[in-house]
């Protein structure tokens, strides 16, 4: 995956409504415009990295990219679980993420409990990986403090680091 780390930003939109309710693992979802602009070498699966809302603090995150085989989604999605407890939802806020590494391919599960166990394992793997110095330094990247007034996606900035910026307005 030559495109990692991958930087992207977009407005949080309503997802499938099951992250918090059914799984107890809330997610912030990107709009189709962000999902559709992923580089070809970033395939479906589970990733880890850093994320923040607006100008807020930067937290560890795990992200599912794909069709979520357990739920048989018809639409590809990018669902970000930020490893922090928030009191409020963030619909309409700007979510900025840097995808740092890959954990595993997406797959189906025999039960909801097995899916939840796998997600919790992914969270623990992300926590460990993000403590490595080469991953930890990305938490302080200028991307999280820079903002743009652009309202459309910008082209990749280099071959190894891409940046999609969606204003959402």
Residues serving a catalytic function are: 79
CA distance 23 to 25: 5
Coil, helix or strand for 99?
A: strand
Please give the Cα distance from 14 to 7 (Å, whole number).
Answer: 21
CA angle, 160 as apex, 164 and 38 as ends, to 5°? 35
Phi, psi of 23 (to 5 degrees): -100, -20
Residues in CB range of 32: below 8 A, 6 or more apart = 75
Q: How many CB atoms lie within 10 A of CB 12?
A: 20
Residues near 7 by Cβ (< 8 Å), separated by ≥ 6?
Answer: 96, 97, 98, 99, 141, 143, 161, 162, 163, 164
């Amino acid at each position: 995956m030559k495109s990692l780390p991958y930087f992207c930003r977009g407005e949080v939109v309503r997802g499938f409504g099951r992250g918090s309710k059914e799984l107890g693992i809330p997610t912030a979802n990107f709009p189709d415009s962000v999902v559709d602009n992923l580089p070809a070498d970033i395939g479906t699966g589970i990733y880890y990295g850093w994320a923040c809302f607006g100008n807020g603090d930067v937290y560890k995150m795990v992200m599912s990219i794909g069709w979520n085989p357990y739920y048989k989604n018809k639409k590809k999605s990018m669902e970000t679980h930020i490893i922090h407890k928030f009191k409020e939802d963030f619909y309409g806020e700007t979510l900025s993420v840097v995808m740092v590494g890959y954990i595993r391919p997406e797959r189906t599960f025999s039960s909801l409990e097995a899916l939840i166990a796998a997600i919790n394992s992914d969270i623990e793997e992300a926590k460990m990986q993000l403590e490595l110095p080469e991953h930890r330094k990305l938490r302080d990247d200028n991307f999280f403090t820079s903002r743009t007034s652009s309202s459309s996606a910008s082209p990749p900035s280099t071959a190894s680091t891409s940046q999609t910026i969606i204003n959402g307005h």
